[in-house]
Amino acid sequence: MHPLLLTPLYRRYLWGGRRFATSLGRSLPPGEDFAESWELVDRGTDQSIVAAGPLAGVSLGELVRERGHELLGRHAPRAAFPLLFKFLDACRDLSVQVHPDDTRAARLTPPDLGKTEAWYVIDAAAGSRIYAGLCDGVDQRALAAALRAGRCGEVLHSFEPRAGDCVFIPAGTVHAIGAGLVVAEIQESSDVTYRLFDWNRTGADGKPRPLHTEAGLEAVTQCGPVAPVASEAIVEDGTATRQLVTCDSFVFDEIRLGRDWTVGGDDACHFLAILSGEVHLDARWQLPPLTPGACVLLPAAIGRQVVRAAEAAATPPTLLHVQLP
Ligand SMILES: [Zn+2]
pLDDT in tens, 228-251: 999 999 999 999 999 999 999 999
- 152: number of Cβ within 10 Å: 23
Q: Which pLDDT value is given to residue 202?
A: 84
pTM given for the model: 0.95
Q: What is the DSSP letter of 222?
A: B
Q: Cis check for the bond before 82: say yes or no (omega within 30 of 0).
A: no
Q: Give catalytic status of residue 195 as yes or no.
A: yes
Q: Which residues contact 309 (CB under 8 A, 6 or more apart)?
A: 257, 258, 259, 260, 277, 278, 279, 316, 317
Active-site entry in 104, 195, 256, 308: 195
Q: How far is the CA of 90 from the centre of ligand 1 (A)?
A: 13
Mean per-residue pLDDT, 292-318? 91
Q: How far is the CA of 117 from the centre of ligand 1 (A)?
A: 7
Q: How far is the CA of 158 from the centre of ligand 1 (A)?
A: 15
Q: Which pLDDT value is given to residue 313?
A: 65
Backbone angles phi, psi at 302, to 5 degrees: -85, -5
Q: Identify whether the C-beta of residue 325 lies closer than 8 Å to the C-beta of residue 251.
A: yes
Q: How far is the CA of 96 from the centre of ligand 1 (A)?
A: 9
Q: How far is the CA of 115 from the centre of ligand 1 (A)?
A: 7
pLDDT in tens, 79-116: 999 999 999 999 999 999 999 999 999 999 888 889 99
pLDDT band (50, 70, 90) for residue 18: very high
Q: Identify whether the C-beta of residue 60 lies closer than 8 Å to the C-beta of residue 68.
A: no
Q: How far is the CA of 200 from the centre of ligand 1 (A)?
A: 19
6-10, 24-28, 148-152, 181-185: range with lowest mean pLDDT: 24-28
